[in-house]
Amino acid sequence: KMVRASQYYPSLISIVNHSLRFLPAFAQMRRAIAEGFLGTEKDLTVCDVRVQMGSLLHDVYDWLCDDTMGGGVLTLVGSHVIDLVSHLLSQRAVKVHGVVRTFTKQNENINGIRNISSPDFCSFQMEMSRGTLVTVTLNNHLPGQFHQEVLICGKGHLVVRGGDLYGMKIGAPKEEVIYLDVEDLQK
């Protein structure tokens, strides 16, 4: 659709921005996977992603409040997570199922005739092309906080918490720090 739209409107600039894959912790995670930290590609069994954050809405009703206009946690965050998981695992989704819900239909600023229809909770599962199972939970019911965890299991596990990467091989006594981010993502 975007290619056809760009041909029809040649002066329109369209960008697809999936930047999570370029964050240092995820670049290090991909490198560790490629170097066999978790075994071979067929050893990758499970990926669990949890993102919890505050509301994505502004103080007035706008496109972020409307699911048909592209608002909601699945569109705004889920697309980036799907890209990240595909990039880290070097696999594509072959089966997907999930649940999307809008629990907050009004708030103190948006409470008139229009209701919020953009989803604020999403949970989905993907079966990837080489059999890895992925579970993703996206939730924006945590005001003022942001928590992100991406866990990949194989012959051990790799986990990004915030901006830091930890890993543990099977039989190791404890997790090891692989990468510590110098930026505090909680600020």
Task: State pLDDT tens for residues 70-120.
Answer: 888 898 889 999 999 999 999 999 999 999 998 888 888 878 888 888 889
pLDDT score of 187 more than 60: no
Q: What residue type is 181 in one-letter code?
A: D
Cα 47 from Cα 121, distance rounded (Å): 19
Could you give the domains of the chain? 39-184 (3.30.360.10)
What's the pLDDT score for residue 69?
84
What's the pLDDT score for residue 99?
96
Average pLDDT over residues 150-168: 96
Please state, rounded to an integer, the average pLDDT across all residues of the chain.
88
pLDDT score of 164 more than 60: yes
What's the pLDDT score for residue 108?
81
pLDDT score of 159 more than 90: yes
Indicate the pLDDT class of residue 16, thresholds 50, 70 and 90: low
Please give the structure tokens belonging to residue 114. Answer: 């229009």
Distances (CA, A) of 140 to 47, 54, 115: 21, 5, 17
What's the pLDDT score for residue 5?
65
Query: Exposure string (b/e) for 32-53, b if CB count within 10 Å is 16 or more?
Result: bbeeebbeebeebeebbbbbeb
What's the pLDDT score for residue 3?
66
Cα 136 from Cα 157, distance rounded (Å): 17
